[in-house]
Amino acid sequence: MAEESKNNATMVVFDGDLDKAIASFIIATGAAAMGKNVTMFFTFWGLNVLRKEENIEVKDKNFLEGMFAKLMPRGPGKLKLSKMNYGGVGSHLMKKMMKEHNVSTLPELMELAQDLDVKLVACTMTMDVMGLRKEELIDGLEYAGVASYLSEAEDANVNLFI
């Protein structure tokens, strides 16, 4: 029984690059399809994966928070490749080549993950630090801190930092 419970998977999604986000959701949906409980914990730049694409006006941001929010990419459509991005040309080409080979897009993978009950958790501490508010992030998320991640990780044997 204790044995059984060690079969889950957790991922810390830290980087928030397009290619790493795609890799993390491919692993997450694959693991969920195999019947694992999967938790993805989004922190630091990884939070940008969860941002809504539209500009959400938030009144109570201070100057720094507003600036960070402006400079960071809003959602999957704006993410950059970790390599060979070439000002967005690389990420555009990568999406084109994925389409040609019928690989799901990042928004499709994210929807699939939610359909498969992959738990998407936004790290509240880094949300605070970066000045991101819940209304700027997509629906269906949970909000928690590192202790919650660690207690999930305890029951997992696959724990990745991406």
**Residues in touch with a second copy (CB under 8 A):** 2-3, 6-7, 9, 12, 14-16, 19-20, 23, 26-27, 30-31, 34, 43-45, 64-65, 67-68, 71-72, 82-84, 93-94, 96-98, 101, 103, 125, 128-131, 146-147, 149-151, 153-154, 156-162
Residue 83 C-beta: closest distance to a second copy, Å:
5
Tell me the H-state helices in 34-115.
Answer: 63-71, 89-100, 106-115
Please report, as a single letter, which amino acid is at residue 93.
L
First to last CA, the chain: 29
Among residues 21 and 120, whose Cβ is nearest to a second copy?
21
d(CA 136, CA 74): 9
Q: Which of 3, 11, 2, 70 is nearest to 38 (CA)?
A: 11
Cβ 154 to a second copy, closest distance in Å? 7
Beta carbon nearer to a second copy, 7 or 114: 7
Structure tokens at 156: 């997992």
CB of 30 or CB of 140, closer to a second copy: 30
Minimum CB distance to a second copy smaller for 52 or for 150 = 150
Of 1 and 139, CB closest to a second copy? 1
Question: Measured from the CB of residue 93, what is the shortest distance to a second copy in angstroms?
Answer: 6
Sheet of strand 38-42: strand arrangement? 142-144, 119-123, 38-42, 8-13, 156-161
CA distance 124 to 122: 6
CB of 78 to a second copy, least distance (A): 13
Q: How far is the C-alpha of 25 from the C-alpha of 12, rounded, in Å? A: 12
Q: How far is the CB of 36 from a second copy (least distance, A)?
A: 8
